Amino acid sequence: MASKTLKLGLFLLGAVLLAGCRPSAPPTDHTEPADLAAPTAAQAPAADTPAVRPIIVDVRSPEEYAQGHLRGAILLPHTEAADRAAELFGDKDAPLAVYCKAGIRAENARQTLESLGYTNVTNLGGMEDASRKLGVEIVTDQAEL
């Protein structure tokens, strides 16, 4: 089962990377599937880096986020996406992977971000699906300390 999850995660990561593929320098570090979570938007690698990890964005409420979220996810409630995207994400070509509880708010956020000029936004659906697709665990705020 873990092998299938790993293969699916690698396949999806490759698809996201190919969507924004540009010539660039060779990778400088080895990225394992378990390392897919981006710690913060400020620490995310440049979009043209071969080992680019998507910036994981939780578009649920702060209360939902506190109850559990993907490790390394940035909280950006879908109702604030239009107002706060520029402060959180500098590069409009950076890969953004959005998720919520079931995928509806994530789709709204994806559309909002694309209307603002973000070119590489993926709706991962609900949190459980996003966790499986990226191979990133679900944690609470206390677990990340």
Phi, psi of 118 (to 5 degrees): -75, 130
Active-site position among 13, 41, 47, 100: 100
Task: For residue 46, give Cα distances in angstroms to 84, 87, 90, 120, 121.
Answer: 20, 16, 10, 13, 15
21 given a catalytic annotation:
no
Query: At 130, is the secondary structure helix, strand, or coil?
Result: helix
| C-beta atoms surrounding 39 within 10 Å | 15
Contact 134, 99 (CB under 8 A): no
Q: Enter the tokens of residue 141.
A: 């705020």
Residues with catalytic annotation?
Answer: 100
